[in-house]
């Protein structure tokens, strides 16, 4: 075939190849299922991350709310127990005066209680006598010797009288003097029950006669007897002489217990269907119970049941709320949008390349092919970079080693800049610290999951191994007595002992002359281990802080520490039912005690206390 004949054939072949390539480029210039799959997968991952973050935020908020709500209930119960102690103290005072105290003696006793300082929320403390109808005249004659105007009121049809004989301070409780609490059913019922059962009782909701605002309150009784009361209920009424009592206005009780400042949680209190206290207002009404951050709890106190409806205020909701889920959602959607835009731009770029290829010379077509190749390289680079970012720490370690190898001859030369060696050392230290911190966090978070089976651990051998690992002498690390064989998770117990001994050595101000003493004491089914040192000691103010994660008492540039070792100790010991305590003062060394079940099974810790 001639050249003139061959040229058309050659052009035809070239054109066919170009058309084939053009069709392929057209096909590649469209969004394929793989592009949509990447976008959809990225969107699904974003939604999963957003849902997980939202769940975690809600879970943390609920945990904080439950803890704060339990604190309110606990404070109220503890405060009522403290008031009860004051009442029984009054009973003891009466008994020490042979069952009869004068008005002046009661006044002196009440002053010693310092009610306003020690018992905030209490309205006063007084004595109620149990008077039979045939003895009422004699009772009045006795009281009118010092108070001519004393009277018992109001009249009623009950068979017993329970007049208030004394009440301190009289300045704020004077109207209650002489009040016969038998005139009203709630007061009377609680008084009879206290006398019959021999225990402290509180009344149902009442309005105190001395409370000018007539807000809900109650009376708190503690009975006393002429003789030692019999064990049988109801039989005690025979010697029932009276009661030491305290009147309460409920809102004063709450202010005295929880303070008058703003609280992040609000609540109301009911006794049955009667509202004793409520922080719900017209401007800030209580939400429906059952909503988020609401809780209904009951406490049983001295014959009554108080129902607490607790809800979170706006301050609490702001404190526990987090914008992290929204950031994750918006960030993920933004990335998805950028991916889609990137895919669209890539496809449009290919289409424009085709348009240029149709209009310009083969040189431009070659350049278009180069651009396509460049895009492929860019995608490959992006994949490799994203893959490498999954293990940044490993990469940093490798990079540091490469730099040290490349600079080895320079660093060994006399002209080497010492700052380079110093910076490389700091880089290794920071990488090591990051690695240790990650390992520490994994250990800390992994306590309690996938635990190994218990095995026999020779604590003497373990201490010897730790001594060798820390390069300590027998004079530096001393075993005070023969340590026991225990059944334990060997890995977890090793972590506890290694952290405690390692800390004693690490923070000692004179390690060469240090004395670290390990001892043990059997306490029933438990062993109490003690690690004592003669180091600088720990200020008592920081005894709790040292067990918190990431807390150190020395600057990190002075002593390298992640601050998580003692957190691991505390969490591990408490997971196995034990306790950790520290006994230390500045300049007097440190003793850390922890208990461990000798057979690897947690039992009652009373013997180890």
- Which tens digit of pLDDT belongs to each residue from 429-454? 566 656 655 654 555 555 555 455 78
User: Stretch 311-331: mean pLDDT, rounded?
Assistant: 85
Torsion-angle region of 293 (φ positive above 0: left; ψ -120 to 50: alpha; else: beta): left
pLDDT by residue (tens digit) across 531-584? 999 988 888 887 877 777 665 655 555 455 556 778 888 888 998 889 999 998
Amino acid 378: pLDDT = 41
pLDDT of residue 305: 97
Check pLDDT > 60 for residue 605. Answer: no
3 state DSSP class of 494: helix
- pLDDT at position 508 is 86
Residue 112 — very low, low, confident or very high, per pLDDT cuts 50/70/90?
A: very high
Whole-number pLDDT of residue 2 = 42
In this structure, are strands 216-225 and 240-249 parallel, antiparallel, or unpaired?
antiparallel
| Contact assessment for residue 276 and residue 216, using Cβ atoms and an 8 Å cutoff | yes
Residue 544 has a pLDDT of 79
**pLDDT score at 430:** 61
98-321 belongs to CATH 3.10.110.10: no
Question: What is the pLDDT at residue 576?
Answer: 87
Residue 607: pLDDT band by 50, 70, 90 thresholds? very low
pLDDT at site 3 = 45
Query: What H or E segment, with its residue span, contains residue 443?
Result: helix 418-446
User: CA-to-CA distance for 479 and 530, rounded, in angstroms?
Assistant: 10
Residue in this structure with the two tokens 């670290």, named with its chain if needed: 516
pLDDT of residue 390: 41
Q: Would you kindly state where each structural domain of the chain is located, as residue ranges?
A: 98-321, 451-597
pLDDT for position 9: 46
* Stretch 251-273: mean pLDDT: 87
Q: What is the mean pLDDT of the chain?
A: 82
Name the CA radius of gyration of the chain, rounded. 40
Tens digits of residue pLDDT in 504-517: 888 888 888 999 99
CATH fold of 451-597 reads Heat Shock Protein 90 (3.30.565)
Query: Would you say 495 and 454 are in contact if contact means Cβ atoms under 8 Å apart?
Result: no
Residue 378 tokens read as 């860019």
Cα–Cα distance measured from residue 349 to residue 375, given in angstroms and rounded to the nearest whole number: 10
Domains 98-321 and 451-597 share a fold: no
- The tokens describing 589, both together, are 């060394």
pLDDT of residue 545: 79
Cα–Cα nearest to 217, from 260, 262, 162, 176: 176
Query: Residue 379 pLDDT more than 50?
Result: no
Express each pLDDT in 87-108 by its tens digit.
999 999 999 999 889 999 999 9
Q: How confident is the model at residue 338 (pLDDT cuts 50, 70, 90)?
A: confident
pLDDT, tens digit, for every residue of 242-259? 999 999 999 999 998 887
Among 168-177, 277-286, 412-421, 474-483, the minimum mean pLDDT is found in 412-421
pLDDT tens sequence across 78-89:
999 999 999 999
Residue whose token pair is 């208030």: 164
pLDDT band at 26 (very low <50, low <70, confident <90, very high): low
For residue 246, how many C-alpha atoms fall within 13 Å in the half-sphere facing its CB?
Answer: 31
**Share of residues in the chain with pLDDT > 90 (%):** 42
Q: What is the largest CA-CA distance in the chain?
A: 151
Whether a cis peptide bond, with omega within 30° of 0, leads into 169 is: yes
Given this model, what pLDDT does residue 184 score?
A: 95
The mean pLDDT value for 398-427 works out to 74
Joined together, the tokens standing for residue 79 give 């405060």
Cα distance between residue 336 and residue 333, in whole Å: 5
Could you give the CA distance from residue 198 to residue 231 in angstroms, rounded to a whole number?
9
Q: State the average pLDDT over residues 39-63.
A: 89
What pLDDT, on a 0 to 100 scale, did the predictor assign at position 36?
Answer: 81
Spatial separation of the C-alpha atoms in residues 452 and 470, rounded to whole Å: 26
């Amino acid at each position: 075939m001639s050249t003139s004949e061959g040229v058309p054939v050659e052009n035809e072949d070239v054109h066919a190849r170009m058309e084939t390539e053009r069709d392929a480029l057209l096909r590649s210039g469209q969004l394929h299922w793989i592009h949509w799959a990447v976008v959809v997968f990225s969107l699904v991952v974003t939604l999963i991350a957003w849902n997980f973050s939202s769940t975690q935020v809600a879970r943390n908020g609920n945990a904080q709310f439950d803890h704060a709500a339990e604190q309110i209930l606990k404070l109220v119960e503890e405060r009522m127990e403290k008031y009860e102690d004051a009442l029984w103290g009054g009973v003891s005072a009466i008994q020490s005066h042979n069952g009869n105290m004068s008005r002046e003696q009661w006044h002196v006793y009440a002053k010693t209680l310092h009610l306003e300082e020690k018992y905030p929320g209490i309205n006063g403390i007084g004595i109620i006598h149990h008077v039979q109808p045939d003895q009422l005249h004699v009772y009045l004659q006795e009281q009118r010797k010092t108070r001519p105007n004393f009277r018992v009121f109001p009249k009623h049809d009950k068979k017993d009288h329970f007049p208030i004989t004394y009440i301190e301070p009289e300045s704020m409780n004077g109207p209650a003097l002489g009040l016969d609490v038998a005139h009203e059913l709630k007061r009377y019922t609680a008084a009879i029950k206290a006398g019959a059962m021999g225990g402290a009782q509180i009344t149902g909701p009442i309005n105190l006669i001395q409370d000018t605002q007539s807000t809900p309150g109650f009376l708190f009784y503690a009975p006393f007897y002429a003789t030692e009361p019999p064990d049988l209920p109801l039989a005690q009424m025979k010697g029932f002489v009276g009661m030491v009592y305290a009147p309460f206005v409920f809102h004063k009780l709450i202010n005295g217990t929880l303070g008058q400042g703003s609280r992040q949680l609000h609540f109301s209190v009911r006794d049955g269907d009667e509202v004793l206290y409520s922080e719900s207002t017209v401007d800030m009404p209580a939400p429906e119970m059952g909503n988020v951050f609401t809780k209904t709890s009951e406490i049983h106190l001295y014959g009554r049941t108080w129902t607490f409806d607790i809800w979170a205020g706006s301050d609490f909701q702001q404190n526990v709320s987090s914008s992290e889920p929204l950031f994750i959602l918006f960030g993920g959607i933004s990335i998805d949008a950028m991916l889609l835009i990137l895919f669209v731009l890539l496809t449009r770029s290919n289409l424009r390349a085709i348009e240029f290829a149709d209009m310009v010379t083969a040189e431009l077509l070659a350049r278009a092919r180069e651009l396509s190749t460049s895009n492929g390289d860019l995608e490959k680079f992006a994949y490799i970079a994203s893959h490498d970012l999954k293990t940044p720490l490993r990469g940093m370690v490798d990079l540091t080693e490469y730099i040290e190898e490349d600079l080895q001859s320079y660093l060994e030369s006399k002209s080497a800049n010492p700052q380079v060696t110093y910076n490389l050392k700091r880089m290794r230290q920071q990488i090591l610290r990051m690695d240790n911190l990650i390992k520490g966090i994994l250990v800390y978070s992994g306590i309690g999951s996938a635990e190994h089976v218990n095995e026999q651990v020779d604590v003497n051998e373990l201490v010897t191994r730790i001594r060798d690992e820390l390069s300590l002498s027998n004079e530096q690390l001393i075993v005070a007595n023969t340590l026991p064989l225990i059944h334990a998770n060997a890995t977890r117990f090793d972590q506890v002992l290694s952290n405690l001994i390692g800390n004693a050595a690490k923070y000692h101000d004179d390690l060469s002359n240090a004395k670290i003493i390990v001892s043990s004491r059997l306490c029933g089914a438990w062993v109490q281990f003690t690690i004592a040192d003669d180091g600088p000691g720990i200020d008592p103010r920081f005894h709790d802080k040292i067990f918190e994660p990431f807390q150190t008492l020395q600057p990190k540039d002075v002593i390298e520490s992640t601050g998580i070792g003692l957190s691991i100790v505390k969490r591990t010991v408490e997971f196995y039912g034990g306790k950790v305590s520290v006994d230390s003062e500045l300049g007097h060394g440190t003793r850390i005690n922890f208990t461990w079940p000798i057979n690897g099974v947690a039992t009652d810790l009373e013997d180890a206390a």
